[in-house]
A and B are shown apart, each in its own frame.
Chain A
């Protein structure tokens, strides 16, 4: 007499959701984050199809149309939907083409500071001792200097311009990434899977990039998203001070500096570029906050 052994468990436990699905579940629960993501997608599309969206060139000067108001005001026309600037360039076209510069600044700055920050953080976390102290002390000194002041000094040394402004902003952002990476590396290094990998004879480079780094990514992704917004706002501030992108580049901060003196006569020349900066920065901040909440295991119940 043999009893049949039940192979099926009595209570079926649902399979754990795929990490990406779980992430989306938490992320989509946050209306601000989804709104931010949507806004960023729109901005990316505008940047890609800037030439198709706008009828006018962003740098062409219309000598017969200085400071035309937007179309809903008296004297405005749909030829220049958001009016023209003091030398007769189409505001709408300049704003739309400005998305390219903002995204370029954001992605360049984040890539440079992320790559350098991760490398320095990994070195500090793995090397310990004098190397670690040297790197971290240097980062502390950089953090003591207020970021805008440091960026201004770097641009003053390198000379004004968009490339140098991006470099300056990248350098200023560096300490955050180094600190986050090092802290994550130090926690991960105490875990057993690292010891196991070590006993298997993994080289230091393999340990750094293939074993440890993938497990440190969550806080870095969040910081990189928030880094986009700081990069855009800092580069725009440098542009506003005349140290960033130079005219006639349709970079929003530079546009503000260019048209500032006409503010009293033409409200639109200062209102729209600033609004564009605010919306872009806010979109990245909202998405960054949403990412943090969705990726932070502490907040999940």
Chain B
């Protein structure tokens, strides 16, 4: 087991180098040199330009600059935003909990609905229920989520006035940021109605972001269940006279869950980035919206630092999922 974890951790290093290279190139591959890029459209006098090039070390060879960049990154210095002049890393720290909260709730929503839907569809194969679940699944899988979000706002917020349009909580409430997760912070605060407000703000973005994982999980669960249900040991269990619900819910599900858990794990990381669109539509103050704004304002340090931090977070989640997966499934652990 230890060896499995160590091999998995060793793979982190090349990935980390890849992500830093990408973030590094982000500034250097943009047409024009970094100073011009950072100066923006206003331009800069030639003298000051040469001075700055030297000051920031942009006149050194590229590989020297890369190592200097890595040194900064490893010491936690990712530069400052050109707009707010705040350190990039502290802005990220402030916004990331909102993204985690949204992604995890979306995943929870997808699993809670998707697993039972897939199991039922497999158990009642070729029934109307099965066809219905599969039709909804293929629709969800093909859904452009930026449009789905707009449609949800149009229907639930503008037409039926059920949910707020944007943000995480009403301005009337300001729970102390203990954990950064508003669902928990609002419960801890003594303001009545704060939790309710946080939930009503979360519900639409959660559904929108959770739609694609929901479709994939339902589909995956169904096909994994169908495969397992055809196995001999299931026939034996049925022949012994075990209740159908036990055969499906215990015997089959345990083995069918293995591929489903893989898919869930793969999704958690990509949801952080998938939140880019959802956050933009719902003005959810998370990392995704921050990155899109950085692109529009040409705030390159934020973009560079944000890509690096988000990439590393996804990488970390993937490693954790892999290791957990090794615990659950011994076949993976003993593969090499």
Contacts and interface: CB of A to CB of B under 8 A. Distances in A.
Interface of A: 32, 137-138, 140-142, 144-150, 152-153, 156-157, 159, 229, 233, 236-237, 240-243, 253, 256, 260, 263-264, 267, 270-271, 273-274, 277-278, 281-282, 285-286, 289
Nearest to B28: A157
Q: DSSP majority for the A interface?
A: helix
Contact of A242 (B29, B154, B274, B296): B296
26 contacts: A32-B138, A141-B14, A144-B269, A144-B314, A144-B315, A146-B269, A148-B273, A148-B276, A149-B276, A149-B310, A152-B295, A153-B22, A153-B26, A233-B144, A237-B146, A240-B277, A263-B150, A263-B153, A263-B158, A270-B147, A274-B147, A274-B150, A277-B144, A278-B139, A278-B142, A282-B142
Contacts of B22: 145, 150, 153
Contacts of B270: 146-147
B311 A149 contact: yes
Given A141-B14, A141-B19, A157 B138 contact: no
A140 B15 contact: yes
A240 B311 contact: no
A147 to B, nearest CB: 8
A233 B277 CA distance: 12
Interface in B1-35: 11, 14-15, 18-19, 22, 25-26, 29-31
Interface string B292-336: 100110000001000100110011001000000000000000000
A157 B25 contact: yes
A157 B148 CA distance: 28
A281 B140 CA distance: 11
Contact of A270 (B25, B31, B151, B272): B151
Nearest to B277: A237
Contact of A149 (B138, B141, B147, B307): B307
Contact of B31 (A147, A159, A264, A281): A159
Contacts of B144: 233, 236-237, 253, 274, 277-278, 281
B150 A270 contact: yes
B119 interface: no
A146 B274 contact: yes
B158 to A, nearest CB: 5
A13 B138 CA distance: 41
B143 interface: yes
Given A149-B311, A156-B295, A138 B142 contact: no
A156 B269 contact: no
B151 A274 contact: yes
B221 interface: no
A229 B272 contact: no
Contacts of B154: 263-264, 267, 270-271
A271 to B, nearest CB: 7
A192 B30 CA distance: 50
Given A145-B22, A277-B144, A278-B143, 14 more contacts: A144-B19, A144-B314, A145-B311, A146-B274, A146-B314, A150-B22, A233-B144, A237-B144, A240-B277, A241-B276, A241-B295, A274-B148, A285-B138, A286-B138
Contacts of B30: 156-157
A278 B147 contact: yes
Contacts of B25: 157
Interface string B99-115: 00000000000000000
B231 to A, nearest CB: 15
Interface of B: 11, 14-15, 18-19, 22, 25-26, 29-31, 138-139, 141-144, 146-148, 150-151, 153-154, 158, 269-270, 272-274, 276-277, 280, 291-292, 295-296, 303, 307, 310-311, 314-315, 318
A225 B292 CA distance: 30
Nearest to A234: B144
Contacts of B277: 148, 237, 240-241
Q: Top 5 A-B pairs ranked by shortest CB distance?
A: A274-B147, A146-B273, A141-B18, A282-B142, A281-B142
Given A157-B30, A286-B138, A273 B18 contact: no
Contacts of A146: 269-270, 272-274, 310, 314
A153 B276 CA distance: 13
Contacts of A285: 138, 141-142
Nearest to B30: A157
Contacts of B314: 144-146
Contact of A241 (B18, B31, B273, B280): B280
A240 B142 contact: no
Contacts of B315: 144
Contacts of A159: 31
B292 A241 contact: yes
A278 B139 CA distance: 8
A39 to B, nearest CB: 11
B26 A240 contact: no
Contacts of B148: 274
